[in-house]
Structure 1
Amino acid sequence: MTLVAILSGAGVSTDSGIPDYRGPNGLWRKDPEAEKLVTYDFYMADPDIRRRSWQMRRASAAWNAEPNAAHRAVAELERSGTPVRVITQNVDGLHQLAGLPARKVLELHGTAREVVCTRCHARSAMADALARVEAGDPDPSCEVCGGILKSATVMFGERLDPMVLGQAMAIAKGCEVFVAVGTTLQVQPAASLAGIAVDHGARLIVVNAEPTPYDELAEETVREPIGTALPALLRRLAAEAGTAPGTDSGTAQGS
């Protein structure tokens, strides 16, 4: 059966109320100084940056965000029996909240729902750390060793987890269809996955409001709003694969 790989970027979550970073109204364009709050060297060296970072986390739109039509469409494609793997640049966990099994989601940039100690690498829930901030601790330290805590996301200046990146590359090499959705395809090495997929024979479909550097490699580019365009596209892919509701294959096929 056709393996569909989906590389999802910030544009997938904007309908859930989570702003993107590099779009026309993106966070980094509105406030370039905000980038320091998620830059590893600044974060580790400056307690004031850390305090501001914790306040930014407290105010994050992600905590009240719900999966939108795009997230739900991906989960529905998986439930239809089509083999699906999501490689996401997002850290909001909305693919999983929409019902996609966690084992089928690769979080390239980590997760904002956990914190990690920069010294002993102990992990714990972000909600617990934010509760400590709410209680008056402006820069909570690791409760295991006293080290500096950070979000379990990949900050600027940090490398991606090589194991996660290796898994993502394997998916890109093994898929028949590679859908890049809501991503500018400008941040490496994530963007290179689209080229790797094409090099290994996959159909590339780009769903994004703005042009990307990989459009010329794409079999299809879609500029329509993601909330309507992606569900329609994924229904078509399911029909082509014979796994859409009402087809002979039904939902018996697993992945």
Structure 2
Amino acid sequence: MTESLKSSIATLRDMIQGARIVAGFTGAGISTESGIPDFRSPGSPWMRNKPISFELFLQDPEARRVAWRRKFTMDDLYSGARPSAGHIGFASLVASGRMPAVITQNIDGFHQESGLREDQVIELHGNGTYAKCLSCGGRHELAYVRYHFERNSDPPECMVCGGILKSATISFGQAMPEEPMRRAQTLTAACDLFLVAGSSLVVFPAAAFPAFAKENGARLVILNREPTPLDQAADLVIHAEIGEVFSEFIA
């Protein structure tokens, strides 16, 4: 570890210790260190298994079959992945009482696997570890959906109301979830330190939260391997591996 990185980590530690409320914000970069592929990287398997738009998913039974087939293909690619040191570091910050919750763009459920409760994770783009009925909102486990799909070449209908089942993620063209967006807005408005880890900050509306925090008087920290559009506005920018930095914060 370079002296410059050691100095940045020490500065980050001081900022966290001096903060009243820290808002955590994570993107794909924290999970690429767990082996989850990034959507935009060259050669990404997401580009070979592109998500189906929400409108097409609703309209076309064949599109639903393709969507589920691609979903299971992607799940198999990272079935052995586990939370990274970054996830565990965030869990430690939440456990310390300084960070009420983590706002995340990710859908892998790794923040929960690292020890956070459901109410301590604000999922802006949903969760890919289970399915939901688009009519009644009922939860269905993926093992059940996959068993039915592989036996019948069709996803099952909702066991409660007969509605369409979809991975509990937010697809292209689907409305952002109201309650997570409200909770993220509330936390962003209340914090005096906003800590970004592993986000390129180019996907909106999620990327608007750090800018709003800064405009509202909070200090802004960005930890990402590559530069982001908000680097110049940040109080501290660290271009490094998230796990290397957050291993220093694991309880």
Q: TM-score range by the shorter chain?
A: 0.7 to 0.9
- RMSD over aligned CA atoms reads 2.0
User: Match for residue 68 of structure 2?
Assistant: 54
Measure, in 1, the Cα distance between the counterparts of 2:103 and 2:44.
21
Q: What is the rounded CA distance, in whole Å, between the counterparts of 1:77 and 1:122 in structure 2?
A: 32
| TM norm structure 2 | 0.84
The corresponding residue for 1:90 is 106
Distance 2:222 2:42 in 1: 19
Unaligned segments of structure 2, at least 5 residues = 1-18
Distance 2:176 2:247 in 1: 29
1:138 to 154, 160, 176: 154
Could you tell me which runs of 5 or more consecutive residues in structure 1 were left unpaired when the two chains were aligned. Answer: 236-244, 246-255
Q: Distance between the aligned counterparts of 2:222 and 2:52, measured in 1?
A: 28
Cross-structure match for 1:101: 117
Does 2:40 match 1:22?
A: yes
Q: In structure 2, what is the equivalent of residue 220 of structure 1?
A: 236
| Partner Cα separation in structure 2 for residue 179 and residue 185 of structure 1 | 12
Tell me what 1:249 maps to.
none
Distance 1:226 1:153, change over 3 A: same
What letter corresponds to residue 53 of structure 2 in structure 1? Answer: T
Output the amino acid matched with 2:41. G
TM-score (norm: length of structure 1): 0.83
Native 8 Å contact 2:200 2:224 kept in 1: yes
**Contact 2:24/2:99 (8 A) holds in 1:** no
- Percent identity of equivalent pairs: 37
Task: Tell me the matched-pair count.
Answer: 231
Measure, in 1, the Cα distance between the counterparts of 2:118 and 2:235: 29
Q: Is the 2:28–2:38 Cα contact (8 Å) retained in structure 1?
A: yes
Matched-pair contact (CA < 8 Å) for 1:47–1:139? no
Deviations 1:46-77 (A, max 9, x none): 32322122122223145432111111111122
CA contact (8 A) 1:180 1:194 kept: yes
The amino acid across from 1:91 in the alignment is: I
> 1:166-218 CA deviation, whole Å, 9 max, x = no partner?
11011111111111111111111110000111111111111112221111111
**Could you report, residue by residue, the CA deviation over 1:217-249 in whole angstroms, capped at 9, with x for unpaired residues?**
1111111112212334x47xxxxxxxxx7xxxx
Partner Cα distance (2:80, 2:63) in 1: 24
Pick closer, same or farther for the CA change 1:2–1:38 going to 2, 3 Å: farther
Report if aligned partners of 1:141, 1:148 keep a CA contact under 8 Å in 2.
Answer: yes
Give the distance between the partners of 1:80 and 1:118, measured in 2 at CA: 37
The code of the aligned residue for 2:29 comes to G
Indicate if the aligned counterparts of 1:14 and 1:20 stay in contact, CA closer than 8 A.
yes
CA-CA distance at 1:123 after TM superposition: 2.1
> Does the aligned pair in 2 maintain the 1:133–1:139 contact within 8 Å?
yes
Q: CA deviation at 1:110?
A: 1.1
2:175 is aligned to: 159
Which whole-Å CA distance do the structure 1 matches of 2:44 and 2:215 have between them? Answer: 31
- Partners of 1:225 and 1:172 lie apart in 2 by 25
**Which residue, out of 35, 38, 42, partners 2:52?**
38
